[in-house]
């Protein structure tokens, strides 16, 4: 009888341990889902280039927007540049320093206007000589990279917009997907971080060249438009196989 009682006790302990393991796994999975970043990139308002591009934080945790990379496919080639800073806003137009950049914290459930699509194109045109290709633009892809409050690891999301030029210098945009693509895999995150660093390095090189040009001419450096296109490259090789990055 005592043997049966011991076996019963061992069985009950084993079942209890299994139940606790399952419970802890469910709790851990739930916490991971809650802390997982979830960004939505959408077009607000009219379908034209004056429509605003909104970045919304639909995750449970606040995030810090680190960088916005814009890809433009025009005439079969892909051009990339950082569009994090609002260069279209001049100092005398500022009422708050935060208006000069899209970088910064974004609370859960909040959205940020990162500029109109016309503004985003204007920022990339400072670095890439694509103004002449405006009527040949096929698509625009917006990639937003963030850091979450609970982790130093970078995460990102992207949304692609199909472009229909009207032939008169304007364009109309439509989202390719209802939801933005979340880029969370470790390998993809490393690729994104490498790509952002590369784009920033090219920006720094372009600015350095512009300063040198202005210095040689004896001019004051006001903007980098003189040298736009000097560092513009085809970034087709930035695409990560199996993931849109």
* pLDDT per position as a tens digit, 169-226: 788 999 999 999 999 888 888 888 888 888 778 777 777 777 777 777 766 555 544 4
pLDDT number for residue 138? 92
What does each C-alpha distance from 113 to 52, 86, 120 come to in angstroms? 7, 11, 11
Q: Which two tokens stand for residue 107?
A: 């609370």
pLDDT number for residue 229? 43
Give the residue, 163 or 227, on which the prediction is more confident.
163
Q: Across the strands, what pairs with 183?
A: 156
Q: How far is 127 from 235, CA to CA, in rounded Å?
A: 13
Q: How far is 33 from 78, CA to CA, in rounded Å?
A: 34
Q: Are 119 and 86 in contact (CB under 8 A)?
A: yes
pLDDT number for residue 236? 36
Q: How far is 174 from 180, CA to CA, in rounded Å?
A: 13
Convert the pLDDT of each residue in 133-152 to its tens digit: 888 899 999 999 998 866 66
């Amino acid at each position: 009888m005592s043997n049966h009682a011991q076996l019963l006790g061992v069985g009950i302990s084993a079942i209890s341990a299994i139940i606790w393991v399952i419970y802890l796994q469910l709790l851990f999975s739930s916490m991971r889902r809650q802390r997982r970043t979830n960004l939505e990139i959408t077009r607000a308002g009219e379908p034209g280039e004056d429509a605003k591009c909104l970045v919304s934080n639909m995750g449970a945790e606040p995030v810090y927007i680190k960088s916005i990379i814009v890809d433009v496919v025009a005439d079969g080639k892909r051009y990339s540049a950082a569009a994090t800073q609002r260069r279209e806003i001049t100092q005398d137009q500022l009422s708050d320093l935060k208006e000069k950049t899209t970088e910064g914290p974004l609370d859960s459930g909040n959205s940020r206007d990162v500029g109109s699509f016309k503004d985003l194109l204007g920022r990339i045109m400072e670095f890439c000589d694509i103004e002449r290709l405006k009527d040949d633009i096929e698509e625009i892809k917006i990639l937003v990279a963030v850091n979450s409050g609970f982790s130093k690891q970078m995460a990102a999301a992207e949304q692609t917009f199909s472009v229909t030029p009207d032939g008169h210098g304007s364009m109309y945009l439509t989202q390719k997907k209802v939801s933005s693509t979340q880029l969370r895999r470790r390998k993809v995150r490393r690729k994104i971080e490498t790509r952002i660093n590369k784009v920033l390095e090219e920006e720094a090189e372009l600015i350095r060249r512009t300063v040198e040009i202005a210095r040689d001419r004896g001019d004051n450096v006001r903007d980098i438009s003189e040298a736009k296109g000097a560092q513009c490259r085809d970034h087709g090789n930035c695409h990560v196989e199996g993931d849109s990055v």
